Amino acid sequence: MIRLQRLILFALLNAISAYCNLTPDLEEYSKTSSQSLLWAPYRANCYFGLTPRYVHKEPFVLGAMWFNSINAQGLANVRHFVEQGDKLDKYGWVWYDPRIGGKETITDSENNLQLNFTFVKSHSGENWAVQVEGDVIDRSKKAAESIVIYMKQNGKEDSSCFLEQDLNHARTHNTLSFKGFSNELKGYTVSFANENSEFYKSSIPPLTHDTNPSIPSIFSMNVPDDQLWKAKDIFQSILKDSVQAHIEKNPKLSAESIPSALTIRNIHNFPPGNVQYIQQTFSGHFKFEIIFNKDRSKDQIEEHSIDHLIGLAETMVQQKFDRKFNIPGTSKFKEFAQETFSNLLGGLSYFHGTHLVDRETSFDDENFEKVELKNSKEEGPFELFSMVPSRAFFPRGFYWDEGFHLLQLLDYDSDLAFEVLHSWFDLIDSDGWIPREVILGDEARSKVPVEFRVQNPNIANPPTLLLAFSEMLSRAKTIQEEMLESHMHGNVHHEEPKSSFEGNILSSHPELLLSYAQDIYPKLLKHFEWFRNSQKGMLEEYLEVPSINSGAHEGEAYRWIGRTVTHCLPSGMDDYPRAIIPDSAELHVDALTWVGVMTRSMKQIASVLDLEEDLKRFTEIEQNIVENLVTLHWDDEQKLFCDITFNDDATDDEDLREFVCHEGYLSLLPFAVKLIPHDDVDRLQHILNSMSNEETLLTPFGLRSLSKQDEFYDTAEVYWRGPIWLNLNYLCLDALQYYFSDSPLKSEEAQHAELFKQASKLYRQLRQNIITNTYSVWKKDGYVYEQYNHKNGNGSGVQHFTGWTALVVNMIGRLPEDL
């Protein structure tokens, strides 16, 4: 009957959409969405770097560098890739949307420079402009601020691709102009225009005719496509050679001549090539624009229109943010929230290239030393469209981080979330594996320590991507049913406009998402089976334990492959304490929990697709996992979910299982991902007690990762042994809402009055503590962090962690203030 109703629903909606001629197909949707996402600063590892998405054979690439050339030390302080060691006062996006544009501000006291990059696009999305504006911070100090823009049109030497200066244009216009062509982008023009900039002017003549810092300097050479990421190294090398040549002619260079000496020139007489360096040096305020226009485009960007485009883009981004997040303009959190969320989006990157995989090295069940992956081979090329946890420290794709990124993005731009998810799912290989870290190409690899570059198909990671996908499908199903209900009653909802800029096309055409789910389902099924098979634990070791023998479901017990004596990197909670002596028979509660999440997600997909046999199977597996969480991992003495290990010294069968209990995120996880049944009131009570206890987990800044009473609290690396992480805190807040707001328990609220009172108090307190502390640290330091100190609330770990810490925005603008 349910299946028949759903088929009728689909038929009615399709008929309505066809009648109204409103339904695009998936290919048409993809084309529309891709156009608005074609260009953006997708090289998030650069302070500012542009490249088109999914144009990978012959892409145009742009990057920016800067340094203060007033003295010889300036060359050592060239900024290019985002580096924590640069110790900038601040950098990041103050408003940004990849479909529309944004403004990035940079404060660099060491180079005495305040710098802004503002990016906008034409309505079609095929043309763009960047406004570069800056000034010296301290005008009492002499400055020669060199801004270097480099551009390259990729393409093989024998191809028709080129990028060259248009000298005819330069003679007749007060701008620099370059012509380019690629088979993917076709013909285009890139122009540079200055607006009353204070170019550096020296009181003495330049050292040579081609090193005059008062005018733009252009240097061209050929650089192989796969070497462009070394643009800074190339620039510094050429400049050092040039400086050395100056010194050989004039060993006693005056201080006044240093800006001239640090102006790039063609010292080696290279023929013009496919890379163009444009260096401009300023002594005060400057403002110039870079404009990219495709030949014969209908909406080319005119130089005089850029300020207007910027104003329009800022308004559009602001209005979109206000519609998606309920944060009053009078709120002190408004600026913090928009900037933090903009920096999450600012980490959106497009990667293309090969990755390193070791498929030969296996893991010995009895060996818990770190395994060296020495048999790597390049595979690919592949492509990935993904956000990154941190532009400075982690500019690559992380499997379990991305699920949290998507949970944030769903409320703002569900179409973009789908594009990212689609890209990740395309990486599922023939065995069903997705790497836990996706590091594509030399540029991405250059930012990764050698020991982490190689991936192995035995290693898993928490499957948060399926958590996000099932949430997408759940919303699509709800929307579809609401649309049917509305049309059946003759009601028409006048909601926000559906457009590619809003990122809500799929929400008005949920059938497209459901169609994709049907296409991707076989790959997801393979991924599901890979995860279960590769991480399966040895439950048979415990079958002599009476309580396990009588109640456990044999197929559902798991452990993380790749765990070592000191770390369990695959779990995501790297140094969280596990059994002191590792054992091949140990079973990890979080591994089982995440398989439960994965199963629930697959059940949701099977339900939407009317796959009755699969739905029945997933329902059974999920129920078995829920029961095994209690049968295997619940310790009745400590009232916690715990890992277990095999006790060789047991004197009776019941003691063969040894609980490894460490109160913290691990013990809370089954609750946080909503795997505890609503009617399991006793365990819900114990978990509430755990989260509410200031002597164990609760702090004025959020929930500690590990109890203050644990023997390993605040020891060793102190990574997941005390510090506060916002991703798990967010899940706990969301779970509190799930269990105590819209819950079957609500009908029995009087019976459980104290429980609901405790949950409501904890929710309000925890939400407020996290928001207030994260905001206070941002107000003081200008950044959000990877984690927060469990004793004083200060930011710790990676600075400017633009990934899941941005979940604080959802806490402010999406989660209710009270249950």
- Residues tagged active-site: 574, 786
Q: Give, for 400, the enclosing helix (H) or strand (E).
A: helix 399-409
At which residue do the structure tokens 């005056």 appear? 254
CA pair distance 717, 719, nearest whole angstrom: 5
SS3 737: helix
- The verdict on whether omega for the bond into residue 381 sits within 30 degrees of 0, i.e. cis, is yes
Q: Is 155 left (phi over 0), alpha (psi -120 to 50) or beta?
A: left
Sequence-distant (≥ 6) Cβ neighbours of residue 18 within 8 angstroms: none
Q: Give, for 115, the enclosing helix (H) or strand (E).
A: strand 113-121
Sequence-distant (≥ 6) Cβ neighbours of residue 790 within 8 angstroms: 699, 701, 704, 705, 708, 714, 722, 723, 724
Tally of CA atoms within 13 A in the half-sphere of 292 that contains its CB: 27
Strand 145-153 vs strand 128-136: parallel, antiparallel, or unpaired?
unpaired
CA pair distance 67, 200, nearest whole angstrom: 14
First to last CA, the chain: 36
SS3 39: strand
The alpha-carbon radius of gyration of the chain (Å, integer) is 29
Give me the helix-helix angle, 334-346 and 306-324, nearest 10°: 110
DSSP structure string for 234-292: HHHHHHHHHHHHHHHH-SS--GGGHHHHTS---TT-PPP-SEEEEEEEESS-EEEEEEE
**Closest C-alpha among 175, 176, 47, 69 to residue 115:** 47
Tally of CA atoms within 13 A in the half-sphere of 130 that contains its CB: 22
DSSP structure string for 433-487: ---SEE--HHHHHTTS-GGGSEE-TT-----HHHHHHHHHHHHHHHHHHHHHHHH
**Closest C-alpha among 319, 575, 353, 358 to residue 451:** 358
CA pair distance 668, 661, nearest whole angstrom: 12
Number of H helices, E strands in the chain: 21, 27
Dmax (CA) for the chain in angstroms is 94
SS3 131: strand
CA pair distance 605, 525, nearest whole angstrom: 10
CA pair distance 613, 124, nearest whole angstrom: 46
Sequence-distant (≥ 6) Cβ neighbours of residue 564 within 8 angstroms: 368, 369, 370, 582
**Closest C-alpha among 60, 67, 65 to residue 47:** 65
The single-letter code of the amino acid at 276 is: Q
CA pair distance 52, 91, nearest whole angstrom: 23
